[in-house]
Structure 1
Amino acid sequence: MSLNTLIHRASLPCPDLDPAQAAQLLQAHYGLQGTLQPLGSQQDLNFRVDTPHGRFVLKVCHGDYAQQELEAQHAALEHLHRQGVPVPAVRRANGGEPLLALTIDGQPVRARVLTYIEGQTLTRLPYMAPRLMHALGALCARVDLALADFTHPGLERTLQWDPRHAQAVIAHLLPVLADGPRKVRVQAIAEQARVALEPLLAQLPMQAVHLDITDDNAVWQRDGAREWQLQGVIDFGDLLHTWRIADLSVTCAALLHHVDGDPLRILPAIAAYHALNPLHEAELRALWPMIVARAAVLVLSGEQQVGVDPGNTYSRDNLAHEWQIFEVAAGVPFALMEAAIMQLAGLAPAPLPATGMLLPGLRDQAVARVDLGVLSEHFSTGNWQQPGIDQHLLRTHAAPASTLYAQYRLSQTHIDNPLEPHTCALHVELHLPVDSALVAPFAGTWRHGEQGWACLEGDASSLWLRGVVQSPASGAVIAQGEPLGHATELEVQLCRVAGLQPPNFVAPSRALAWQVLCPSPAALLGFDCDAAPLPDPHALLARRDASFARSQKHYYQQPPHIERGWRNYLIDMQGRSYLDMLNNVAVLGHGHPRMVSESARQWSLLNTNSRFHYAAIAEFSERLLALTPPGMDRVFLVNSGTEANDLAIRLAWAASGGRDMLSVLEAYHGWSVATDAISTSIADNPQALSTRPDWVHPVTAPNTYRGKYRGQDTTADYVRDVDERLAEIGERQLAGFICEPVYGNAGGIPLPAGYLQQVYARVRARGGVCIADEVQVGYGRLGEYFWGFEQQGVVPDIITMAKGMGNGQPLGAVITRREIAEALEAEGYFFSSAGGSPVSCRIGMAVLDVMEEEGLWDNAREVGGYFKARLQALVDKYPLAGAVHGSGFYLGLELVRNAASLEPATEETAALCERLRELGIFMQPTGDYLNILKIKPPMCTTRASVDFFVDSVERVLMQGV
């Protein structure tokens, strides 16, 4: 068949067959009866058929489709099935025929029935995780391996989608586009692809390929963990014998509308294919231009199809995706994608030829290396945010001085932004002796560029320079060693690609590929200007796992390597700033200068234990007591919340003379023997409910959202449960009751109105002590209240506090009344080695000072109120968002699958947290079902950060999790 004939056939609309005719065909020829549902297709007519005998697909195509082509498809299905590839099976007609040739209302058609693979395609999935791209690439490899020895006469055909004919198809279909920039762009990109492919074509191996393993033809289902699992591959209409690499090119092109504009995100698919079915070097080099050519064919074919069949919704919807694919493919240099693909396969670029020196005057001189990376000592208190800070720091060094090539610069970070910052420097900046002479390190042509740049274009590379004075005229031919002018401040960049002016900075995910295109200029500068490589984060994590007890978990399976923080952001080693939405320890924010100066000063003077006599311990204790209700007059200082709660239990035992403690189910209080005993959160300890000692008596969690009793009018019900536990204790002396005044582990749910008033009264009537665990929710974090117990209108006997007291310094406190404190003294003295040290006390007071000076409690109230309102708007809009809990900067967004049953959306919450990390936000789940976003950021968090967080959550909810 000629290409013109093929294109004409491909431009035909779908066969005209209504559901009644299709039902009649099925009954007459297959003995099948059932309901029919049309399925989308560009040229075939497809119906899903639900019958008592199972679910099938009726496929009807034009009669001019060669029977041999369709027989080849059936043979391939049988072949792949034997190879273990999940594919549909052919159901034969009543007479045993696998394929029927019919005439319906005068139109010749061919009909067949295949089994239906349950599941769905991922075509409309807005976000596709790298795992899914990897799986699709692996599927393509499996199919190609299975088809490597498959032959059939029906494979030898001319097909519009065969990349061997791409240029002819593009030339034929280009007139479907109106004259204008879009048409010019398609033609230019297609020509680039042709030039890149031509030298490689004779080296490309050939075989039978599916040629349409795309997001539209792979079928998936979610498993119990809500993970997509592959069910099978469908639609063998493009099966033929062509280049092997064509199959992967089609798969990759289809993925380009899932990459959010970044084509390098398809690399997991290529890596998966190459791992299973290794590609030749020529195939690797051909892959990207073949993808680009495919993109051009897609848009031209789609425009033509919509023109001839404007009522075909499937074709019209696909056209938008096809243009999206083309724009992504056309928006990146060919050389960059080739470099990324070759790197993935472990193939290094050819070295550049030797050159002369650009600055011969620097020969044998010591050049200062100016560190502008994330850990640079030159950066402090956020000064990296100042415009021009890098150049300022460079000038403070005596000439000659140089920045570092391939360093991830802290100054290039950005905040509250879902995109990777462009932090990797592909150039170096030099501070030189005045009017240093420059000479051509290789022969070339001198060109003037934009924004002060000039370029020496050589045979193997181009040298881009900015800051040259008295330079040659543009167009001048320069011999090696000829003068290029003078400079005092100079920017230098190499590039292998002729005609390409590369960016100065690129995103970390693109950095390695760009470094192939823009290698280090060290050789022509004559000194080492390369940044030291960053530690391998995977190797570092392996070292942690090999030495650090693994029960001490880390966030995320592949956590970013964080070594710096500033305000409410954490910064990884590649300069990306992550919004910290879970670090309630750093109430003031990270890297606060007051913490730095206070700790440094006190360390320089004294740090010892609280048995020595120094002023800070008395001053800090007085400050703490001033924050508590009247009657509280004694302070114990410790180093953590666990130690504070453990001590509170000992105080209750000593003051009451009893041992039996009431605690609340689903709560967490610490990891010591005693605090673990009273903690019943199964998220923290899966054995929590079965390992309680007999002195611990958990009461029903007063969770007004999903607890045993729901709603605010449930106080009596929850208090009745307390009465039942007290009855179980009987005549034994009750030691006390410990409870977070706001239900922290559930995301900050307030207790039912009056709950603590009634429970405290019952506990005190039995001689017990009431403990308010404020470790997470206290100290102003709630915004409306400084202490959580104020919300319930009660005063506890013991307050425990830690977390934000020291902004990261190990610091906790137990605050109580004199008689309770002295009850413990009767049993012996208490001592905490680090509790109440001079450094901790000074830092504790500084935290209180900064909270007041910077209005952080007010900020928690005002911005926290705005925050909760924005989250509530998500609840009103998205079914998965079930409820917002808490106040101030202690909030919880609970995710549920069903608003009536409140089925926890555990897996969706985990996926949402992972997506937020990709968007530049740290967030983790909480609650016994791990279905609540536990939102507890530093108290300096701004409205801009709140908007970024909520917008990002909404983005993920819109895309689906």
Structure 2
Amino acid sequence: MYYTFSTTGIIKLVQEYYGLNVTGKELEGYEEANFFLEDENGKKYICKVADDTHSPSFLDAQAKILDKLTRSNIAGHFQQVLKNKKGEAVTPLIFPEEIHYMRLYTWLEGKPMVTVTGTRELNVSLGNFLGKMDQALEMFSHPAMHRYIKWDIAQALDARAQLPCIKDHEKRRLAAYFLLQFEMEVLPQLPSLRKAYIHNDANDYNVLVENNAISGLIDFGDMVHTTLVNNLAIACTYVMLQAADPLQAAVEVVGGYHQAYALTPEETDLLYYLIAARLCISVTTSAGKAAEGSDNEFHFITENGAWQLLFKLITINPVAAQQAFRLACGFPSVIQEDDAYAPLLDNRRAHIGRNLSISYKKPLKIVRGALQYLYDDKGRTYIDCVNNPSHVGHCHPTVVKAMQRQIAKLNTNTRYLHDNLVDYAELLLSTLPSSLEVCYFTNSGSEANDLAIRMSRHFTKQKDVVVLDHAYHGTSTVAMELSPYKFDGKGGFGKPEHTHKALNPDMFRGPYRSDDPQAGEKYAEDVQRIITGLQQDGKGVAAYICETLLGVGGQIPLPPGYLKSVYADVRAAGGVCIADEVQVGFGRVGDAFWGFELQEVTPDIVVLGKPIGNGHPLAAVVTTKAIADAFNNGMEYFNTFGGNPVSMATGLAVLQVIKEEGLQEHARVTGNYFMEGLEKLKARHAIIGDVRGHGFFIGAELVRSRETLEPAVPEIDQIVEAMKERGFLLSTDGPLHNVLKIKPPMVFNKANTDALLAHLDEVLASF
């Protein structure tokens, strides 16, 4: 191996094969031994020795490409190849059991770019230099450069094999996301892009600088025949590592390159994803080396910087990057003017029901999602603080791949046998109490609530249902009849005769407050009042249904002991207890996997939706065997796509992600941190009347007065709009529409929390 070569030994070999008398010292190297040498005339050289894992043909290609470049119009930027006494560019060193290969190059002066402060002039100079180099190599070719190398961005998807070596859940998820985007956005375009013989490693250690300009480029060990624009993408990546404004730094490099060697719009449009892919190759390689126990510092030299840049990159809207790179080259804009929405809005009004509302005064056109981020068509990035259906994050790579794989094989109804249906049912049931043992799958939470009520009526032979005031359970006819939020609201049809409203157990503004240790039991008495009234009328109760934390009702955790008392009374009356976990379940509350566990109860029926499929149309009803048997009364229950193979693959992937990435614990820790921050804001801003919730189910009720509890409306709407302008998507809830609703994807992190709290602090200061 090369490490057996000493400086003294190299000096003798150089004298023997090249006739030079030199002094020298060993330099650090990644895959080869490197020695700095100087002859008696003060001329400097670098000697490189490779072991027999290196192809002599490829080493010859390195010499040939340097010969080509040292005869170009940028000749002074490259090392000259010294031939040995036989006129060979590569000197074989043959030993009894192994062979090594020695090369001698002239030394290039300059500081590595990593050691100097980047400037616009330097970035433009780098781009211009690379453009001239790639243009000079237009007619170059060498068969040895048609090879596989993992550092070729075109091979980025091979980095997936090392994703398991990344132990940090958030980092692994981030790298997997960008590799998924490479597969979807870049891979289909590769065949149509220009190919070239490129250096492939213009990193900030290989690029040399003098007088704020590029003086040279060294180390051609990674060169390959691949997509031309990859060479530029790599340079952009390493410039961005050190930059305060990474995108601007990359734009400067791109502009300089285009001046020297014209790019195409298709190439610039992919640069964002190519840069991300290069970073993914780097971080997965470092993770793989760490797993192997490597102590070579060169294996980890850019690891921290690469992760920092990946976390910055996901906050940059790809449309903004595409636009910036296009404008740097004088290409047409990809961002339309604000009034371009007019035709889309007109078509929506003409063909979509008018009562399907649009969020925000100035509508958003969201074109991409990335975990906890949303990107609009104007190039803006938004932190998603409210889209709880995307439970494990927008476009989570594990979920996306599971859906893709299954839909490429089969999607059909449940009248055929399929493992996914049973596998998912068993995995889902493993998260629930043992008494809940039968699953029915549907396409939406509304449909699931409808089915749950239907089942309760079969089981009890009763029709009347008890709900909470201000509750919302969906959009089907039956679900609307359970939703005071709808039937008591504008355009509502009023309370149906068989629906009965119990007090909303609101311990902030209800009759029993948080300072009352018996509040739960007192609110529960209102349910018993309804049951007693029904019994006096000769009726029974079919079901009691409530969310285990109230969503539309105001982001309200139930009082301690509330469900325990209610469930006991309902069951004593022969009714069924239904837990609506549509917005609450799957670890969102942090302290438990299911909201009902916070109340130390077990429902008879659990209704699941939204997070179960990460936004895919999937929902479920899980119940006891006794209720399922009663429902099996001879009439077939069939749902064409409830439980289809794709939905089940999706559900399996969501549960896998929640478990493997520790998202329940993440929700607990980060949610507590979030609420602590909101409490600090409450101490500074009187408009915050109450902060409440569990995990990532958070509400902040805004009031004009903490004494009168007058709701802060329209102030809350102005706050939501102001936060949207700052890049945070929030919403309002509650009977009085004065509660900030915060239910982000479960991958929302502490950095997102800090940013939101800082901006909210500034916004609230004006109220």
TM-score of Structure 1 vs Structure 2, range by shorter chain: 0.5 to 0.7
Shift in Å at residue 835 of structure 1?
Answer: 1.1
Question: Is the contact made by 2:391 and 2:745 (CA closer than 8 Å) also made in structure 1?
Answer: yes
Question: Is the contact made by 2:591 and 2:694 (CA closer than 8 Å) also made in structure 1?
Answer: yes
Helix, strand or coil for the counterpart of 1:814?
A: strand
Partner of 1:818: 625
2:415 matches 1:619: no
Shift in Å at residue 878 of structure 1?
Answer: 0.9
Partner of 2:332: 530
Q: Distance in 1 between matches of 2:747 and 2:328?
A: 41
Alignment-mate amino acid for residue 908 of structure 1: E
- From the superposition, tell whether residues 683 and 736 of structure 1 become closer, same or farther in structure 2 (CA, over 3 Å): closer
Which residue of 370, 395, 398 maps to 1:591? 395
Q: Distance in 2 between matches of 1:940 and 1:519?
A: 33
Which residue of 195, 201, 226 maps to 1:398? 195
Q: Distance in 1 between matches of 2:491 and 2:571?
A: 31
What CA deviation, in whole Å up to 9, does each residue of 1:850-882 have, x standing for no partner?
111111111001111111111111112210011
Partner of 1:153: none
Alignment-mate amino acid for residue 503 of structure 2: T
2:457 matches 1:653: yes
Q: Distance in 2 between matches of 1:558 and 1:919?
A: 13
Shift in Å at residue 420 of structure 1?
Answer: 14
2:490 matches 1:694: no
Question: Is the contact made by 1:579 and 1:920 (CA closer than 8 Å) also made in structure 2?
Answer: yes
Say which structure is richer in helix: 2
Partner of 2:583: 776
Alignment-mate amino acid for residue 694 of structure 2: S
2:386 matches 1:582: yes
Q: Distance in 1 between matches of 2:256 and 2:500?
A: 70
Partner of 1:720: 525
Shift in Å at residue 532 of structure 1?
Answer: 4.9
Q: Distance in 1 between matches of 2:317 and 2:721?
A: 24
Q: Distance in 2 between matches of 1:560 and 1:423?
A: 28
- From the superposition, tell whether residues 959 and 397 of structure 1 become closer, same or farther in structure 2 (CA, over 3 Å): farther
Q: Distance in 2 between matches of 1:437 and 1:739?
A: 63
Shift in Å at residue 547 of structure 1?
Answer: 1.5
2:177 matches 1:381: yes
Shift in Å at residue 558 of structure 1?
Answer: 1.7
Helix, strand or coil for the counterpart of 2:709?
A: coil
Shift in Å at residue 676 of structure 1?
Answer: 0.5
What CA deviation, in whole Å up to 9, does each residue of 1:180-226 have, x standing for no partner?
xxxxxxxxxxxxxxxxxxxxxxxxxxxxxxxxxxxxxxxxxxxxxxx
Q: Distance in 1 between matches of 2:652 and 2:362?
A: 37
- From the superposition, tell whether residues 533 and 426 of structure 1 become closer, same or farther in structure 2 (CA, over 3 Å): farther
Partner of 2:354: 550
Q: Distance in 1 between matches of 2:610 and 2:343?
A: 31
* Bigger RCO of structures 1 and 2 (CA < 8 A, at least 6 apart): 2
Helix, strand or coil for the counterpart of 2:552?
A: helix
What CA deviation, in whole Å up to 9, does each residue of 1:658-710 have, x standing for no partner?
0010000011100111110111125994355x611100011111111112332
Shift in Å at residue 421 of structure 1?
Answer: 8.3
Shift in Å at residue 831 of structure 1?
Answer: 1.7
Helix, strand or coil for the counterpart of 1:734?
A: coil
Helix, strand or coil for the counterpart of 2:648?
A: helix
Partner of 1:666: 470
Partner of 1:602: 406
Instruction: Map 1:331-342 onto structure 2 (within 5 A).
Output: none
Helix, strand or coil for the counterpart of 1:381?
A: helix
**Which has the larger displacement, 660-669 or 831-840?**
831-840
2:373 matches 1:569: yes
- From the superposition, tell whether residues 678 and 647 of structure 1 become closer, same or farther in structure 2 (CA, over 3 Å): same
Partner of 2:107: none
Structure 1 runs (4+) greater than 3 angstroms displaced? 383-386, 392-397, 399-403, 419-433, 435-438, 505-509, 518-522, 531-535, 682-685
Which residue of 724, 731, 751 maps to 1:944? 751
What CA deviation, in whole Å up to 9, does each residue of 1:872-906 have, x standing for no partner?
11112210011111110000011011101111112
What CA deviation, in whole Å up to 9, does each residue of 1:18-70 have, x standing for no partner?
xxxxxxxxxxxxxxxxxxxxxxxxxxxxxxxxxxxxxxxxxxxxxxxxxxxxx
Helix, strand or coil for the counterpart of 2:583?
A: coil
Helix, strand or coil for the counterpart of 1:670?
A: coil
Partner of 1:191: none
Shift in Å at residue 425 of structure 1?
Answer: 6.7
Shift in Å at residue 849 of structure 1?
Answer: 0.7
Alignment-mate amino acid for residue 332 of structure 2: D
Helix, strand or coil for the counterpart of 1:605?
A: coil
Q: Distance in 1 between matches of 2:642 and 2:400?
A: 20
Shift in Å at residue 411 of structure 1?
Answer: 9.9
Q: Distance in 1 between matches of 2:742 and 2:509?
A: 19
Question: Is the contact made by 1:893 and 1:932 (CA closer than 8 Å) also made in structure 2?
Answer: yes
- From the superposition, tell whether residues 785 and 736 of structure 1 become closer, same or farther in structure 2 (CA, over 3 Å): same
Which residue of 441, 446, 453 maps to 1:642? 446
Helix, strand or coil for the counterpart of 1:934?
A: strand
Alignment-mate amino acid for residue 420 of structure 2: A
Shift in Å at residue 649 of structure 1?
Answer: 0.4
2:506 matches 1:703: yes
Shift in Å at residue 428 of structure 1?
Answer: 6.2
Partner of 1:471: none
- From the superposition, tell whether residues 827 and 952 of structure 1 become closer, same or farther in structure 2 (CA, over 3 Å): farther
Q: Distance in 1 between matches of 2:576 and 2:318?
A: 57
Instruction: Map 1:890-929 onto structure 2 (within 5 A).
Output: 890-929=697-736
Helix, strand or coil for the counterpart of 1:601?
A: helix
Shift in Å at residue 717 of structure 1?
Answer: 2.8
- From the superposition, tell whether residues 929 and 598 of structure 1 become closer, same or farther in structure 2 (CA, over 3 Å): same
Shift in Å at residue 437 of structure 1?
Answer: 11
Unmatched 5+ stretches in structure 2:
1-130, 139-174, 198-226, 230-235, 264-315
Alignment-mate amino acid for residue 519 of structure 2: T
Tell me how many residue pairs correspond in the alignment: 497
- From the superposition, tell whether residues 436 and 735 of structure 1 become closer, same or farther in structure 2 (CA, over 3 Å): closer
Task: State the superposition RMSD in angstroms.
Answer: 4.0
Alignment-mate amino acid for residue 617 of structure 2: P
Question: Is the contact made by 2:472 and 2:486 (CA closer than 8 Å) also made in structure 1?
Answer: no
Alignment-mate amino acid for residue 898 of structure 1: S
- From the superposition, tell whether residues 915 and 426 of structure 1 become closer, same or farther in structure 2 (CA, over 3 Å): farther
Shift in Å at residue 431 of structure 1?
Answer: 6.8
Question: Is the contact made by 2:456 and 2:542 (CA closer than 8 Å) also made in structure 1?
Answer: yes
Q: Distance in 1 between matches of 2:396 and 2:693?
A: 27
Q: Distance in 2 between matches of 1:681 and 1:421?
A: 46
Shift in Å at residue 635 of structure 1?
Answer: 0.4
2:626 matches 1:830: no
- From the superposition, tell whether residues 424 and 727 of structure 1 become closer, same or farther in structure 2 (CA, over 3 Å): farther
Shift in Å at residue 430 of structure 1?
Answer: 8.3
Alignment-mate amino acid for residue 178 of structure 2: G
Find the structure with the greater CA-based Rg.
1
Partner of 2:665: 858
What CA deviation, in whole Å up to 9, does each residue of 1:570-613 have, x standing for no partner?
01123321000001011111111112211111011110111211
Q: Distance in 1 between matches of 2:576 and 2:246?
A: 52
Q: Distance in 2 between matches of 1:436 and 1:738?
A: 67
Alignment-mate amino acid for residue 574 of structure 2: G
Question: Is the contact made by 2:371 and 2:396 (CA closer than 8 Å) also made in structure 1?
Answer: yes
Shift in Å at residue 799 of structure 1?
Answer: 0.3
2:665 matches 1:868: no
Shift in Å at residue 836 of structure 1?
Answer: 0.6
Q: Distance in 1 between matches of 2:450 and 2:369?
A: 31
Partner of 2:550: 743
Question: Is the contact made by 2:555 and 2:739 (CA closer than 8 Å) also made in structure 1?
Answer: no
Normalised TM-score (structure 1): 0.48
Alignment-mate amino acid for residue 556 of structure 1: Y
Question: Is the contact made by 1:582 and 1:937 (CA closer than 8 Å) also made in structure 2?
Answer: yes
Helix, strand or coil for the counterpart of 1:745?
A: coil
Alignment-mate amino acid for residue 672 of structure 1: S
Normalised TM-score (structure 2): 0.59
Alignment-mate amino acid for residue 723 of structure 1: Q
Alignment-mate amino acid for residue 429 of structure 2: L
Q: Distance in 2 between matches of 1:420 and 1:905?
A: 40
Shift in Å at residue 827 of structure 1?
Answer: 5.3
Instruction: Map 1:176-325 onto structure 2 (within 5 A).
Output: none
What CA deviation, in whole Å up to 9, does each residue of 1:449-493 have, x standing for no partner?
xxxxxxxxxxxxxxxxxxxxxxxxxxxxxxxxxxxxxxxxxxxxx
Instruction: Map 1:99-498 onto structure 2 (within 5 A).
Output: 381-382=177-178, 397-398=194-195, 429=255
Partner of 2:437: 633
Helix, strand or coil for the counterpart of 2:427?
A: helix
Q: Distance in 1 between matches of 2:416 and 2:542?
A: 33
Shift in Å at residue 395 of structure 1?
Answer: 13
Alignment-mate amino acid for residue 707 of structure 2: A
